Structure 1
Amino acid sequence: MLTLLSVFAVMACTKKEKIIERQSTDTTVVAVPADSQMTVTDSITVSNTKDVQKLVNDQDRKFANAAAKGGMMEVMAGKLASQNATNSAVKKLGEMMVEDHTKANEELKQWASKTAYTLPTSLDKDQQKTYDDLKAKKGADFDRMYTDIMVKDHEKTIADFKQEVTDGSESSLKNFATKTLPTLDHHLMESKKVKDVVK
């Protein structure tokens, strides 16, 4: 059937057109002007969700989704801390979270773009509730809640990143996890220090 369609595609082309055939999981026939400089090596994007799914296993998907939502949470909460915290150490902690997690989020987005993987663009229900509760806090109560969240979140995030390094299948995503772990370890250490100051 595919061969027959290809023959029809060739017959349908005018003298001013040429055929470029590119092999992926399916044969894609593209008619382009005969005077075009386009070649088979030029980029012809064929969106194929099944191909994308083959690049990642269940662990990769679970990790990428959790890392995207967790990274968003860290930036959003960090911005609150830099604005609303009363303790200067908490403000600095928030600023560090915004800077470092913004960089990590961009790296994860670059990976997703290259692999045509769609990352979550919003927090999950529990994260949104935590953020809303934090936003409602004032003064020392805010400082205590923020540092408590940072310790708990980073303990979980570090475990997630370590699992990706061990069980992930997509090499670029595993490399991202490996590269980011030292920063997360530093965040956890600093969060514990600041939590002790404001408790």
Structure 2
Amino acid sequence: MRMIPTRFLLPFCLLAAVACSSDSSKKDPVAEARFENEKRIGDADITKKQERDAEFMVDAASDGLLEVELGKLAQQKAATPATKEFGQHMAAQHAQMNAALQALARQKGISVPAALGQAQQQTYTELTALTGLEFDKKYLEMMVDDHANDVERFDDMSEDAYDGDIRGFAAKYLPTLKEHLDMARKTQDQVQEMK
């Protein structure tokens, strides 16, 4: 039996290894951040309050990324000037907030997603399918719901976060999120009146 030289087998072995490895582009950034934090926290025997801090940071980052992307989408697709203006405001302010959150997460050694997770991507995709006032109404309904949840979470964490810097971050951005919620409600009221 004839032996195949190793130099011919190496490319096939490498190709097989690449084919068998998991495709990192299909990984969910939010799930990856949660996994990294759980692993770090588990290794360090950290308290439940610190786990809650990390979870808050992941949720705030993933929500913030979605707010920016949906704000950009609203600037392109919205039927009303008020919705376009609201989207522009959301994209700009949440981009600033995201930058501050990412800097704090790096400082604290907390992993946060750098891209939309699967759930956020699905929400984005659903909105891209809508047009006209239907888009505006659905987008604003989501913004009211999302910001109401954000206000509640940031309010809780401004008092209950284990880490003082995370408490400070939540307290600093709570008024901004309350302002966003008010703006979302006012814009939603304007759009609801249209036929």
TM-score range, shorter chain: 0.7 to 0.9
Alignment partner of 1:148 out of 130, 141, 144? 141
User: Are residue 109 (structure 1) and residue 75 (structure 2) matched?
Assistant: no
Alignment partner of 2:128 out of 120, 128, 135? 135
Q: How many pairs align?
A: 152
Q: State the distance in 1 between where 2:117 and 2:68 align.
A: 15
Q: The residue matched to 1:57 in structure 2 has which SS?
A: helix
Report the more deviating stretch, 179-188 or 123-132.
Answer: 123-132
User: Are residue 170 (structure 1) and residue 163 (structure 2) matched?
Assistant: yes
Structure 1 unaligned spans of 5+: 1-48
Q: State the distance in 2 between where 1:159 and 1:59 align.
A: 15
For CA contacts below 8 A with separation 6 or more, give which structure has more relative contact order: 2
Which protein is richer in helix relative to its size?
Answer: 2
Percent identity over the alignment is: 34
Whether the aligned pair in 1 keeps the contact of 2:54 and 2:110 (CA below 8 Å) is no
Q: State the distance in 1 between where 2:185 and 2:55 align.
A: 27
Q: State the distance in 1 between where 2:57 and 2:107 align.
A: 14
Q: State the distance in 2 between where 1:113 and 1:61 align.
A: 12
Alignment of 1:1-199 (within 5 A): 49=40, 50=43, 57-199=50-192
CA shift digits 1:94-134 (9 cap, x unpaired): 00001110000000010011122211233343322221111
Q: State the distance in 1 between where 2:186 and 2:56 align.
A: 27
Whether the aligned pair in 2 keeps the contact of 1:83 and 1:91 (CA below 8 Å) is yes
Letter aligned with residue 78 of structure 1: G
Structure 2 unaligned spans of 5+: 1-39
Q: State the distance in 2 between where 1:137 and 1:93 align.
A: 18
Whether the aligned pair in 2 keeps the contact of 1:52 and 1:115 (CA below 8 Å) is no
CA distance 1:53–1:79, change in 2 (3 Å): farther
CA shift digits 1:23-71 (9 cap, x unpaired): xxxxxxxxxxxxxxxxxxxxxxxxxx445957x6122012101100000
Cα-Cα RMSD: 2.0
CA shift digits 1:124-145 (9 cap, x unpaired): 4332222111111111111111
Q: The residue matched to 1:166 in structure 2 has which SS?
A: helix
Larger Rg: 1
CA shift digits 1:133-165 (9 cap, x unpaired): 111111111111111010000001111111111
Whether the aligned pair in 2 keeps the contact of 1:59 and 1:167 (CA below 8 Å) is no
Whether the aligned pair in 2 keeps the contact of 1:82 and 1:92 (CA below 8 Å) is yes
Which protein is richer in strand relative to its size?
Answer: 1
